[in-house]
């Protein structure tokens, strides 16, 4: 006998957020997560996951900029907090220093998400693998870009179209005590704010050119047959793939030295030091500050090659790695074609999708789409008409991109950005970002009243 009103498949960021929004409104939720333990567990773990916790962060530990005055993802943070977001609440509990970014201790964050959901009496968390889409009962599919093969096949049959795919790569994590601070130094770019939250490893021109050549020559993970001609998403492109785009590409990307004066290179003429030719940055990855991730260094190099090559970086000569980089395949739907404006499958309206499987990109965006899917489902279950967030807000702009504004033929994963917002041509370019956020904050207020508990 069915005891739940809605079934959510996938306990990642989007599924957890959707369950929270529904559970907080009194609906009975069954949240199925295929990762688990115990004698009766019949699930599995994806190639990218390390543990069994809900909302595990498999790539970076950063939710990116928290600046809601002139940054689109910071504005999205702001709007989600106004919606009593589970993910934003857990992030606040697990936050670690990262300058103006919002970064978290992964383990504390995941544990907080699970604890808050478990405290809701009408949300049942079940460790089980779901192999087929339900045919009639309401369901939210939030299995993300790492959907298990059987369920992916069922989704393929229901959509009548092949899913798109791209690669996602994971950055290595280094033990803090093995970093040589006689070579490296702490600083944020331009020392923005008053904190110095990044460890910086400096390179001379000669060191950079040698490192660049070694990246190109390094032994990579072999491709499987189904991986041929699968595109990368630029936001998580492997470091060696970036290097292939040109010898200077990394110096204008993750290894940009601008705004980072090296105090170890100080002279009487330049007491604050001088800019290195290139810099490798590391960001704190846990609350204790014992492990740090290599910013922008997601990679598909073989593990032994990673250890050898990354130890040539100044300051990392004796580095020990808590985790090495890896590569996994991501899948997502052509949502502008397949989904309606409330994220339901056009050919099976009982099925709603949420998170990265819809083609949004990024932790925050995934959780935001899960939040909206939960609100949509709660309105539907309550017999109320769903009111979409204004197109001028970060939530509304992201939803509009997924459900119709994007070009179907060239649809690719997208982070939230001001390019998705209705333009403000009458505002000077230098003031436009602030104008976008001010407009969003003003116009979202009536919508927040419509979704309040």
Separation between Cα atoms, residue 401 and residue 443, nearest integer Å = 19
Q: Which two tokens stand for residue 242?
A: 């970036």
To the question of whether residue 13 is assigned a binding role by annotation, the answer is: yes
To the question of whether residue 99 is assigned a binding role by annotation, the answer is: no
Sign of CA dihedral 125, 128, 130, 135: negative
To the question of whether residue 26 is assigned a binding role by annotation, the answer is: no
Q: What percent of the chain is helix, strand and coil (3-state, nearest 5)?
A: 40, 20, 45
Q: Which two tokens stand for residue 207?
A: 């060191």
To the question of whether residue 14 is assigned a binding role by annotation, the answer is: yes
To the question of whether residue 10 is assigned a binding role by annotation, the answer is: yes
Residues 285 and 199: beta-carbon distance below 8 Å: no
Helices (H), 49-165: 72-82, 86-94, 106-118, 149-159
Strands 164-170 and 326-332: antiparallel
Separation between Cα atoms, residue 360 and residue 353, nearest integer Å = 11
CB atoms within 10 A of CB 163: 18
Sign of CA dihedral 109, 389, 374, 164: negative
DSSP H or E run through 202: strand 198-203
To the question of whether residue 15 is assigned a binding role by annotation, the answer is: yes
Annotated binding site: 10-15
Which residues does the annotation place in the binding site for FAD?
Answer: 10-15
């Amino acid at each position: 006998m069915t005891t739940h009103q809605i079934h959510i498949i996938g306990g990642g960021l989007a599924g957890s957020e959707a369950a929270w929004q529904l559970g907080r409104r009194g609906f009975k939720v069954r949240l199925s997560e295929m990762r688990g333990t115990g004698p009766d567990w019949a699930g599995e773990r994806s190639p990218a996951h390390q543990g069994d916790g809900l909302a595990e962060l498999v790539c970076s530990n950063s939710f990116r900029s928290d600046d809601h005055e002139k940054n689109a993802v910071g504005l999205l943070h702001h709007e989600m907090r106004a919606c009593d977001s589970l993910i934003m609440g857990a992030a606040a509990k697990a936050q670690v220093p990262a300058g103006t970014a919002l970064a978290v201790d992964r383990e504390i964050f995941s544990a907080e998400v699970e604890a808050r959901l478990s405290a809701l009496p009408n949300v049942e968390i079940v460790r089980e693998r779901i192999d087929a889409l339900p045919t009639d009962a309401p369901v939210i599919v939030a299995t993300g870009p790492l959907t298990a093969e059987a369920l992916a096949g069922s989704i393929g049959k229901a959509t009548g179209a092949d899913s798109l795919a791209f690669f996602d790569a994971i950055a290595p994590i280094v033990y803090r005590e093995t970093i040589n601070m006689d070579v490296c130094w702490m600083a944020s770019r331009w020392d923005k704010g008053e904190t110095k939250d990044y460890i910086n490893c400096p390179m001379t021109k000669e060191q950079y050119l040698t490192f660049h050549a070694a990246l190109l020559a390094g032994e990579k993970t072999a491709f499987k047959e189904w991986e041929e001609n699968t595109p990368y998403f630029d936001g998580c492109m492997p470091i060696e793939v970036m290097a292939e785009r040109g010898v200077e590409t990394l110096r204008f990307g993750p290894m940009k030295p601008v705004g980072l004066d090296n105090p170890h290179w100080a002279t009487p003429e330049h007491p604050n030091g001088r800019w290195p030719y290139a810099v490798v940055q590391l960001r704190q990855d846990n609350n204790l500050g014992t492990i740090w991730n290599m910013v922008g260094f997601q990679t598909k190099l073989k593990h032994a090659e990673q250890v050898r090559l990354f130890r040539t970086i100044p300051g990392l000569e004796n580095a020990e790695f808590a985790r090495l980089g890896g590569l996994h395949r991501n899948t997502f739907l052509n949502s502008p074609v397949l989904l309606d404006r409330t994220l339901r499958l056009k050919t099976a309206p009982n099925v709603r999708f949420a998170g990265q499987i819809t083609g949004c990109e990024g932790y925050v965006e995934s959780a935001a789409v899960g939040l909206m899917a939960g609100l949509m489902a709660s309105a539907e279950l309550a017999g109320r008409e769903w009111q979409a967030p204004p197109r001028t807000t970060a939530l509304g702009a992201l939803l509009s991109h997924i459900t119709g504004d994007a070009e179907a033929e060239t649809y690719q994963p997208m982070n939230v950005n001001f390019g998705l917002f209705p333009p403000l041509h009458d505002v000077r370019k230098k003031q436009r970002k602030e104008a976008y956020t001010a407009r969003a904050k003003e116009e979202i207020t009536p919508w927040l009243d419509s979704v309040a508990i």
